[in-house]
Amino acid sequence: MMLKKRVIKPLAIAAGLLLSANVMAANFKMSVGDGEGSAQQVMGLKFAELLAEKTNNKHKAKLFLNGQLGSEQDTVNDAAIGTLDFSVLASNNLAPFSPTVGMLSLPYIFENLDQAAQTVQGPVGQELTENTLRDAGVRILGWTFSGFRVLSNSKKPVTQLSDLKGMVIRVPKNEIMIDTYKSWGINPTPMAWTETFTALQQRVVDGQDTPYTTIYSMKFGEVQKYITDLHYLFLLEPLIVSEAVFQDQNKKTQQAMLAAGQEATAYSLDWLKKKESQVKQELVSKYGMELNTLNDEAAWAAAAQKEVWPKFYDSVGGKEKINALLKSLGRDQI
């Protein structure tokens, strides 16, 4: 018996080490909703680069752009059950699975990029990460900074609220965003992101709203003429990992994922600051798009905050949570 134990134990250890090595080395799949050149792609590529670097190339991540692996909301389900490793998606598409994330979509909750960055990189961001893990079974590793969602359309310049009348605008299937447009006097058309380009091209809808970088990466300039510099929603797009996949990794790999997410977040912030103005210029020079400013955006903000915010106090965590955020940003409480 003693001899048998001495023989089996080293073999068992060797087999365990071999199994561990097989588990450790992985080629992950990462879903990206937007196309080449987008803030989402930049975030995904930087994370993949950092993860490989921090794990001595044992772990690599391959990006699948333009929703090849399914709609952004579908990828949350897939990650939750462990059939997808990573996804970069708009926060409004994560909110149906973890409602407190909807706070980030409240119209005019952020006045500028710095406020958005402060929020997700501070205690609020940590709380949203914990809530998402609890509610959806996915872990937020980092945040993509994509910019304010500006309004594009193919019909006419929009420079004031009344110009929206009669227009058909595509929005994500998100109740806060749907109600925001209703507060502005129109009934928007909820539509999957993967269907949006074709709908714009065929004039099923007149317009949509996404950041400048997304308009460029998705080539919306081919089917849209006018852009309005709207500031109602700063688009934050988390990078999520399946919690089942995360827990399958050893501690060293988990730490590498967390660190890569943090560093990629900082990179995304810097990238947007440097890139957005260039992208705006290229939309004009390459596609001939016309950029317009609003002369009454205070009216847009007043209508949306008055009619939309109260409807969602409870779902996003309570009025006190919103006031705590506003206070931390140096803004007036409600």
CATH topology for 26-146+236-275 is: D-Maltodextrin-Binding Protein; domain 2 (3.40.190)
pLDDT the model gives residue 26: 81
If the chain, 334 residues long, is cut into consecutive pieces of 10 residues, what is the mean pLDDT of each piece?
Answer: 34 37 71 96 98 97 97 97 97 96 98 97 96 98 98 98 97 96 98 96 98 97 98 98 98 98 98 97 98 98 97 96 94 93
| Structure tokens given for 151 | 């309004």
The answer to whether 26-146+236-275 and 150-233+284-328 have equal CATH topology is yes
Q: Please measure the distance between the N-terminal and C-terminal CA atoms of the chain and give it in whole angstroms.
A: 75
Q: How many CB atoms lie within 10 A of CB 288?
A: 9
CA-to-CA distance for 116 and 90, rounded, in angstroms? Answer: 14
Task: Please tell me the predicted confidence (pLDDT) of residue 5.
Answer: 33
Query: Tell me, what amino acid is at 108?
Result: Y
Q: Which residue type does 302 have?
A: A
Instruction: Return the H-helix or E-strand segment holding 130.
Output: helix 123-136
pLDDT at 76: 98
Structure tokens at 22: 């097989």
- Phi/psi at 236 (5° precision): -110, 130
Contacts of 120 (CB under 8 A, 6+ apart): 104, 128, 143, 236, 265
Decide which of 3.40.190.170, 3.40.630.180, 3.40.50.970, 4.10.320.10 is the CATH code for 150-233+284-328.
Answer: 3.40.190.170
Which residue ranges make up each domain of the chain?
26-146+236-275, 150-233+284-328
Which neighbouring-strand residues pair with 170? 189, 208
**Residue pair 240/89 in contact by the 8 Å Cβ criterion:** yes
Tokens linked to 135: 């509610």
Q: Which two tokens stand for residue 75?
A: 């990828």
Structure token pair of residue 126: 């940590």
Length reported for the chain: 334
Q: How far is Cα of residue 221 from the mean position of the Cα atoms in its chain?
A: 22
Structure-token pair, residue 290: 């016309």
The pLDDT of residue 322: 96
pTM as predicted:
0.90
